[in-house]
Structure 1
Amino acid sequence: MKYLPNLFLAATLLFVSCSDDDNTDPIPDNGGVDIEAPLTYNFERNGETTVSFDGQTTRIRMGEEVVGALLDFDNSTSESLLAKFNHQEGESNFENETLNASNKNLSSKTAASRDYFVTNTAETAVIRADFETYMEKQISDVFPGEFQAAEPGVAGQLADGSATRWVAPDGLEYNQLWIKGMIGALMADQMLNNYLSPAVLDEADNIENNDNEVLAEGKNYTTMEHKWDEAYGYLFGNSPSATNPLATLGDDDSFLNKYLGRVENDPDFAGIAQEIFDAFKLGRAAIVGKNYQLREVQAAIIQERVSEIIAIRAVYYLEQGRMALEQENFGTSFHDLSEGYGFIYSLRFTRNTVTGEPYFNRTEVDAMLSQLMEQGPNGLWDLTPGVLSDLAETIAAKFSFTVAQAADSN
């Protein structure tokens, strides 16, 4: 089944749609101004680019160094991992000296969106503590089993085909919880619930300044242009060609970019990457053209599709884990289920464009994770396949895809 765009959004676009720049007969928008999206994500003013998302690229690269450090048995400690997460400017936490000199870090943008967390700082603290706990447990619960075989209640190695997985006594790979959880708590939350939110895009005098092309101090962009670009950066900010990122999609980072690539490669969802990229381009062009209604339509497309990526991968890993568990292939199963755990965690940061809320709230997410881990005293070792089937159905029911469609990707 070929992936199809959301029909409600498609219908909305009939009223506010704009042409590609190679179309000689553009469709006028409601304001009577024709907005043309460029073929690539290239926007200039006075011959110089107006696109900037350095902060997002920096955080993606910090995250990549954490990914490697989480399996560095010889050098990593709880203290070194936490220092990477909570980096302070000038501290030598990373191999990359540019990252060490940066005043950015991962923790300050985790669960920090304007729409979900600005008045919910208690939950922000809980979520950041979760990620610190995953790092600490990787050291305290997983690392001691580096050279021994895992079994129920005992940390160690499990074979996953030609790969080796290192699990805690409960069967979890805490590095996978951290990586996949960051996709939601940092990348998606900042994109969907912060930089694409009208509360950020239209803050203070942003509309007036954008209308009059009043630029941010010392910059070649308006504040609204920049906020939109920062959302773009959390998906494409580490691409070698940020103007044409689909050419290397899936290879540019270990976070959203990687899993958009995985979903795109499933014939059931082919076209989702182009739809997201086109929405980013057209939304940015709408900002330049001062058409904020069209901008909002494009933001909604991105919010919905990125949310779907998280849900599709959650279902995929639950189903892959279930099939491996039925064959008692514990290494493959626990690896998939650890990834699934992280994607379920990330559902808390999705955005339902009808309600303006996540598809699953914190209570619902915690309940699903409890189902995954609390079937017995040994966590994943005590799971039965039926629990995983039920969880997959619960997630898919909130979206427009089926369990079968999500389960056969790669």
Structure 2
Amino acid sequence: MKFNRLYIGLLFGAAALSSCSDDDATPSIDTPTTYSFTRDGATSVSFSGQTTRIAMAEELISALEDETKSKEALLAMFAHEEGAEDFSDADLNASSKSIRSKTAASNDFFSSNVTDATAIKSLFDTWIGDQHDEVFSRWNEQASAGVAGQLADGTSTRYVSANGLEYNQMVAKSLIGALMTDQALNNYLSPAVLDAATNREDNDADVVAEGESYTTMEHKWDEAYGYLYGASQDPTNPNATLGDDSFLNKYIAKVDGNTNYTGIADDIFNAFKLGRAAIAAKDYTVRDEQAEIIKENVSKVIAVRAVHYLQAGKAALANQEFGSAFHDLSEGFGFVYSLQFTRKPNTDASYFTKAEVDAFIDSILANDNSLWNASSTTLDEVSSKISDAFGLVLTEAAE
């Protein structure tokens, strides 16, 4: 009996020591209230490249509504080369960054898929060129079925192609997927990028990038953050003024404003904060858990807005409010196109493949003169497929 008591005591003691050892090996995570991280008294957060590309995209979208712009000027804004005077901002002109170079360019989806990457970039080139060739040439003319021109939409004027497409809206909303979402979810939040080369070992040892105050892993995470919050008035507290750009930031605000999804903005921001804090604490399990939360919720933002605009466009078409209908459907087109860049959490796949997205768009544009005669049945079918894939209630997303 004495032996048994001693043996049992040793077992409990060993278990207790093991438990203490495990606890001691788990670093605590100190998460700040804002996205503020420092090293040696200096900020360790940097995402200037993302701020630059968002600013370039804003100028491009504005230029797509300036009928005095040449096709060459528009395409040069998309594929900017360092030193070229493509923008009104001298700092953008001096930059080596461009929108086109990071469009459909993520590590996970396109590093070994050059065919699709090239096709996607070329499609943006085509849309930009078509805005000049088809729409600018009839800027002051009335649009009708099969004829490009302008349409009234309340106090606004919409400028559409012969098929009713607003190319500027298609480009803007498609960039939300092909640039911002693809880079954030499928590139910078990818373990393949975060842990590339010696990133994990360097982060463990607090080895910073040359001349910088951040580790490479910290910087990669911040670059993902920048595609959502790089244009925020206060990037450390972006939800205070959510909607500070025309891209992901704006539509996170829109979805958060839908009472069925209130809180999604905080969920995304808090996951970014905790994930960044986890990197500082060398807790890569928590880091990856937060990345999956971000992937799921950013993807949901795109799905909700795709359904919203398809349903809004359907309602406007039923009332023959063509300016409003084509505006909504063109925005919906862009969000549907962006679905191929979403990311199912804990998988290596998007919610919809490029082929599936192309099929959605072909079905929406299938009738004579495309949007002029878009089928309400088709719009409902596409909306239902998106809702089902994301577990949404269609009527809630449509609000």
TM-score, structure 1 as length reference: 0.91
Aligned residue type for 2:40? N
Q: C-alpha distance in 1, partners of 2:259/2:165?
A: 30
Aligned residue for 2:96? 103
In structure 1, which of residues 163, 166, 175 is the aligned counterpart of residue 159 of structure 2?
A: 166
- What residue is the counterpart of 2:300 in the other structure? 308
Partners of 2:203 and 2:259 in 1: how far apart? 40
Give the Cα–Cα distance (whole angstroms) in 1 for the partners of residues 286 and 122 of structure 2.
38
In structure 1, the gaps of 5 or more residues are 1-27
CA distance in 2, matches of 1:391, 1:255: 23
Q: Identify which of 338, 343, 349 aligns with 1:346.
A: 338
Counterpart AA for 1:269: Y
Distance in 2 (CA, whole Å) between partners of 1:29 and 1:202 is 24
Pick one of 115, 128, 139 that aligns with 1:122: 115
Find out whether 1:241 has 2:234 as its counterpart.
yes
- Number of the residue aligned with 1:55: 49
Q: Which residue of 1 aligns with 2:65?
A: 71
2:28 to 9, 14, 34: 34
| 2:379 paired residue number | 388
Residue 18 of structure 2 corresponds to: none
State yes or no: 1:397 paired with 2:388.
Answer: yes
- Residue 324 (str. 1) matches residue 327 (str. 2): no
In the alignment, what sits opposite 1:44?
38
Check conservation: 2:364, 2:375, Cα contact below 8 A: no
1:28-87, CA deviations, whole angstroms, 9 ceiling, x for partnerless residues?
98953221211000000111100000000000000010011000012x111001101111
Contact 2:27 2:282 in 1 (8 A): no
Q: State the AA in 2 paired with 1:232.
A: Y
Counterpart selection for 2:213 from 206, 216, 220: 220
Tell me which amino acid in the other structure corresponds to 1:189: D
Residue deviations 1:102-134 (CA, integer Å, cap 9, x gap): 010011100000000000011111000011111
Structure-2 separation of matches of 1:368 and 1:79: 31
The residue number in structure 1 matching 2:261 is 269
- What value does the CA root-mean-square deviation take over the aligned residues? 1.1
Letter in 1 for 2:249: N
Q: Which residue is equivalent to 1:196?
A: 189
Q: Secondary structure at the match of 1:268?
A: coil
2:397 aligned with 1:406: yes
TM-score using structure 2 length? 0.93
- Where does structure 1 differ by over 6 angstroms across 4 or more consecutive aligned residues? none
**8 Å CA contact retained: 1:36, 1:285:** yes
Is the contact made by 2:174 and 2:337 (CA closer than 8 Å) also made in structure 1? yes
Structure 1 residue 145: deviation in Å? 2.0
- What is the CA-CA distance between 1:354 and the residue it aligns to? 3.5
2:12 is aligned to: none
Could you tell me which amino acid in structure 1 is paired with residue 309 of structure 2? Answer: Y
The CA distance in 2 between the partners of 1:260 and 1:77, in whole Å, is 33
Q: 1:259 to 1:30 in 2, by over 3 A?
A: farther
Larger Rg, first or second structure (1 or 2): 2
% of aligned pairs identical?
Answer: 53
**For the Cα contact (< 8 Å) 1:44–1:50, is it kept in 2?**
yes
Q: Deviation at 1:384?
A: 2.1
Identify unmatched segments of 5+ residues in structure 2: 1-21
2:249 maps to which residue?
257
The amino acid across from 1:174 in the alignment is Y
Task: Count how many residue pairs are aligned between Structure 1 and Structure 2.
Answer: 378
How much has 1:169 moved relative to structure 2? 0.2
| SS of equivalent residue, structure 2 residue 389 | coil
Q: Aligned AA for 1:153?
A: G
Preserved CA contact (<8 Å) 2:37 2:45: yes
